[in-house]
Amino acid sequence: MTLAQETNKYIDEKAPWKEFKNQPQHTGNTLYHCLNVINALKISLNPFLPFSSEKLNKMLGVNEPVSVQGWNWSQDQISPGKV
């Protein structure tokens, strides 16, 4: 859960809701990194929350079911501009 806590701090520090006005590219990068963390967390949480993990998987636009992915995680699963 440290990963989730650190990501929460990261998004609070970056404040993409403020950053968007002056640096939209930075906002995209911030959100992309956060979505990749969510992607990694969904795999970790799958044994405990399988239905929620699959729902997150669909929201992130990943076609392969979490149960098939196993413990494998790839940053390439999230495509910029598609989520």
- Coil, strand or helix at 14: helix
Predicted pLDDT of residue 83: 57
Residues 66 and 81 sit within 8 Å (Cβ to Cβ)? no
Q: Which single residue is written with the structure tokens 């609070």?
A: 12
User: 11-21: b or e for each residue (b if 16 or more CB lie within 10 Å)?
Assistant: beebebeebee
Average of per-residue pLDDT across 46-56: 94
pTM: 0.79
CATH T-level fold of 2-64: Isoleucyl-tRNA Synthetase; Domain 1 (1.10.730)
Distance between CA atoms of 61 and 53, rounded to whole angstroms? 12
Report the mean per-residue pLDDT for the chain: 86
